[in-house]
Amino acid sequence: MREADGIKRVQVKTTTYYNAGWDVQVGRRPYSVGNRERLVPYDPDLVDLFFILDGDLTMYVIPSRVIAGRVHILLTNYSEFIVGSAAFLMKGSTPAAA
């Protein structure tokens, strides 16, 4: 992502898990055989933004420093970071031929 102040490092996450709101995993697993290590938070010095798409196709852009130290978040607490919806992509209609 490019902004006026330079290139941003973005981590993309999605969720389809609903529990009193959309719950999204924003942590990562250190590499291990079987990928069984506990989730650890992303280093905010290595990721600038999280782009998150929830099960309703709502899009969020959340600064990593807002999420810092967490491995799961409930998106209802981050409504101020909603940037739009991708629901229009699922309409199933195709543009009319010219």
Domain extents in the chain? 2-86
**What's the CA angle centered on 21, arms 57 and 41, to 5 degrees?**
85
Encode pLDDT of 57-98 as tens digits: 999 999 999 998 999 999 999 999 999 999 888 776 455 544
Encode pLDDT of 5-51 as tens digits: 789 999 999 999 998 899 999 999 887 777 778 899 999 899 999 99
CA distances (Å), origin 51, targets 15, 20, 47, 62, 83:
11, 21, 11, 7, 10
pLDDT more than 70, % of the chain: 88
Range 2-86 classified under CATH 1.10.3720.10 = no
CA 17, distance to chain mean position in Å, is: 13
Asked whether the whole model's pTM tops 0.85, one would answer: no
Residues with Cβ within 8 Å of residue 4, at least 6 apart in sequence: none
